[in-house]
């Protein structure tokens, strides 16, 4: 009878003893790698094997701050803490860039003879800083034809993308000789005629000037009578037509013939 009572008490107490034991966190993993550009999960179920009721009471924190104006942290290593009552577990988080850049280029480019492909046309997209280069060592830019070249995009995590393209070099443009225009000689001839015309006009003006000068000088001696002498000073710059067309500079004294007075006074 006593044995039955003791066994019954133990059966009743067993659930109470089990309930007094604290459940502890059980880790699935102790480290995790997160792709750069993704946020770090703060869900307990991603790191622990415990039941849902237990997981709902677990606090999760990570010492990583997002990049400026972004929803993900920089590349690097961080620590994630899991806390339940006084129990704490740690998980190592590695943010890593493993995705290569994406090239945004055409399959074929056509360029002029003896020109080079503008590398501004070769673009790539990536979350990390990326450099795009062109391997055109097999392209002869001074010979028309179609050549193979390689475009390479590489980010600062050493992820790399390569793509082969075609570069078409056009035929050389040869200049055709142009016929010489006769405009030059025609213009020269016209200029010569204008010059000749100007010279003739200038000569006529000079003759008119000399004629006016002669008339002015003859009026100076209008009071000279028959038999009087005329003193004419030497003027090397003055050329007056006399002596039947002989032009000369002269000076001295002479007696004018009567015919001069007749011309002078209209006799």
Give this prediction's pTM. 0.56
Q: Which residues are bridge partners to 27 per DSSP?
A: 48
* Cα gap 147→145, rounded to integer Å: 7
Phi, psi (degrees; rounded to nearest 5) at 120: -65, -20
* Cα gap 86→148, rounded to integer Å: 66
| 3-state SS assignment for residue 72 | coil
| 3-state SS assignment for residue 171 | coil
* Cα gap 83→256, rounded to integer Å: 146
Using left for φ > 0, alpha for ψ between -120 and 50, and beta otherwise, residue 227 falls in left
Mind listing the pLDDT tens digit for each residue in 164-216? 999 999 999 888 777 665 555 455 555 555 555 555 545 454 454 444 444 44
Mind listing the pLDDT tens digit for each residue in 240-259? 555 555 554 555 555 666 66
């Amino acid at each position: 009878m006593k044995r039955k009572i003791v066994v019954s008490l133990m059966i009743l107490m067993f659930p109470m003893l089990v309930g007094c034991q604290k459940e502890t966190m059980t880790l699935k993993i102790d480290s995790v790698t997160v792709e750069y550009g993704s946020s770090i999960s703060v869900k307990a179920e991603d790191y622990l094997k415990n039941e849902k009721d237990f997981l709902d009471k677990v606090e999760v924190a990570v010492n990583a701050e997002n990049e400026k104006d972004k929803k993900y942290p920089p590349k690097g290593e961080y620590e994630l803490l899991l806390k339940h009552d006084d129990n704490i577990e740690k998980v190592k988080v590695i943010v890593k860039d493993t995705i290569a850049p994406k090239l945004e280029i055409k399959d074929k480019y056509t360029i002029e003879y003896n020109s080079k492909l503008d590398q501004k046309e070769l673009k790539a997209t990536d979350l990390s800083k990326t450099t795009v280069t062109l391997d055109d060592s097999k392209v002869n830019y001074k010979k028309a034809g179609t050549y193979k070249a390689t475009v390479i995009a590489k980010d600062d995590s050493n992820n790399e993308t390569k793509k082969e393209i075609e570069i078409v070099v056009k035929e050389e443009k040869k200049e055709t000789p142009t016929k010489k225009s006769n405009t030059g000689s025609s213009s020269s001839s016209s200029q010569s005629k204008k010059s000749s015309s100007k010279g003739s006009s200038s000569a006529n003006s000079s003759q008119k000037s000399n004629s006016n000068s002669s008339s002015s000088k003859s009026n100076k001696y209008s009071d000279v009578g028959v038999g009087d002498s005329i003193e004419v000073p030497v003027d090397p710059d003055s050329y007056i037509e006399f002596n039947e067309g002989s032009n000369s500079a002269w000076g001295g004294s002479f007696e004018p013939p009567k015919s001069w007075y007749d011309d002078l006074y209209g006799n």
